[in-house]
Amino acid sequence: MKRMTCVTAALFAAAFILLPAVPAGAADGGSEDPYIVRPGDTLSGIAGQLLGDTKRWPELLEANPQITDPAVIFPGDTIVLPGSGEAEGMAADDAYQPLPVAVPEPPVAEPPPMAAEPVEPPLPIEIVKAKPTINQNTYMSAGYISAELPQDFIVSSLDTHVLLVEGDEVFLSIAAEEGAAFTVLRPVKEVHHPVSGEYLGWVMKVMGWAEVTCAGESNSRAVLSNTVDAVNVGDLIVPFDPEDVLEENIRKPIQSKFCLEKGDTGYIVASQGHNLVLVDGDVVFLDKGRDAGVEPGQQFVVYKELEPEGYRVIGIVQVLRSGSSTSTALVTYSMKEISVSDTVQAWEGPVTEEVSSGG
């Protein structure tokens, strides 16, 4: 009987040695051991599993500084719990190293299902981005589309310089009073509508400004008071508009990431430069102006049509100045590549870069 007892005790001892150790806290449903991300996991889902509340994902984000984007975690990543003592300075040899896991292709984002009550999103989706703050000279030099070319021009220069800059004296083809100011322009490209082919005019590049110093009977002597680029004899001139000033509402911040209901649309018909890809800070021209109710400061969403039905928002432009049928705008936010012929729509609020069905 005693021998049988000894054998039984030995078996129990062997079983105890072979059993895996249970992590501290596992019995009560929680664990301070690092959590290893599995395929399909999200930060909010892990928060619900380990902390009992999906809304506590920011605590996991704070405790894991190695995560730079809460929307991007991968199978095999190590997640530590808040207050576990392993959040900062966790050495690579101390962290649990999982077996290699095949990473599936990320699923295509789909619109969330309709819910009877608002549902708290699992991850933050709102982005706030400041619009570029531009100075008056940058605004003034943005240029515009002119349906007709001005008739007056720089006839000659007092010096023999080929390239004229600020301070150089020139002669104008128009008789004007002393002190009169003119904007110096250069037509750089003829513009036709990218969809209809209709002639829209010429992109006029602002080269600088001139002020009359001496009035004549048929022409005037002037000095270049400011130049954006080198001025040439033959460049065109128009009277300076003192009311053409930078609108304060152009400096306001913008938001992104909400759905767009498509309405009356227009197009980017040209750009100031020759870049095929347009980004933040580039100047573009739209086929809508004052006749369509477009005013300086107004925002337009830029998007690309998707087949069979849908669109993808790729950026935002804001109107700097508006003509009768066209307007000059600044790219204030580019999510994807923007180019001439992209579609625009007037917008009063924030936008989304997610793929959405057309409204």
pLDDT per residue as tens digits for the range 55-114: 888 888 888 888 877 878 888 888 888 876 554 444 334 444 444 545 556 666 676 666
Task: Please tell me the distance from the alpha carbon of residue 19 to that of residue 329, in angstroms, as a whole number.
Answer: 70
Q: Which amino acid is at 85?
A: G
Residue 227 in this model has a pLDDT that exceeds 50:
yes
What's the gap between Cα 44 and its chain centre?
27
Residues 151 and 204 sit within 8 Å (Cβ to Cβ): no
Task: Count CB neighbours of 159 within 10 A.
Answer: 10
Q: Are the folds of 136-239 and 247-356 the same? A: yes
**Average pLDDT rounded to a whole number, residues 201-230:** 93
| CA-CA-CA-CA torsion sign (54, 56, 61, 64) | negative
**Average pLDDT rounded to a whole number, residues 260-279:** 83
What is the biggest distance separating any 2 CA atoms in the chain, rounded to whole angstroms? 135
Residues 150 and 183 sit within 8 Å (Cβ to Cβ): no
Q: Residue 2 in 3-state DSSP?
A: helix
At residue 202, the pLDDT reads 95
Topology of domain 247-356, CATH = Thrombin, subunit H (2.40.10)
Q: Name 231's Cβ contacts closer than 8 Å, sequence gap at least 6.
A: 154, 163, 164, 165, 168, 170, 184, 207, 208, 224
Element (H, E) at 4: helix 2-18
Residues 9 and 70 sit within 8 Å (Cβ to Cβ): no
At residue 283, the pLDDT reads 92
Phi, psi of 228 (to 5 degrees): -90, -40
Q: Which amino acid is at 329?
A: A
pLDDT per residue as tens digits for the range 331-357: 988 888 899 999 999 876 554 444 333
Q: What angle do CA 346, 348, 350 make, to 5 degrees?
A: 105
Structure tokens of 277?
């890809």
Task: Please tell me the distance from the alpha carbon of residue 134 to that of residue 116, in angstroms, as a whole number.
Answer: 45
Domain edges within the chain: 13-97, 136-239, 247-356
Q: How deeply is 262 buried, as exposed, middle or buried, from its count of CB atoms within 10 A (0-12, 13-18, 19+)?
A: middle
pLDDT per residue as tens digits for the range 144-176: 999 999 999 999 998 877 899 999 999 999 999
**Average pLDDT rounded to a whole number, residues 175-179:** 93
CATH of 13-97, one of 3.10.20.90, 3.90.550.10, 3.10.350.10, 2.60.40.420: 3.10.350.10
At residue 309, the pLDDT reads 66
For 157: left if phi > 0, alpha if psi spans -120 to 50, otherwise beta; the answer is: beta
Topology of domain 136-239, CATH = Thrombin, subunit H (2.40.10)
pTM of the model: 0.58
CA distances from 5 to 1, 2, 12 (A): 6, 5, 11
Q: What angle do CA 90, 67, 33 make, to 5 degrees?
A: 45
Structure tokens of 355?
């793929």
Q: How deeply is 231 buried, as exposed, middle or buried, from its count of CB atoms within 10 A (0-12, 13-18, 19+)?
A: buried
Task: Please tell me the distance from the alpha carbon of residue 327 to that of residue 201, in angstroms, as a whole number.
Answer: 12
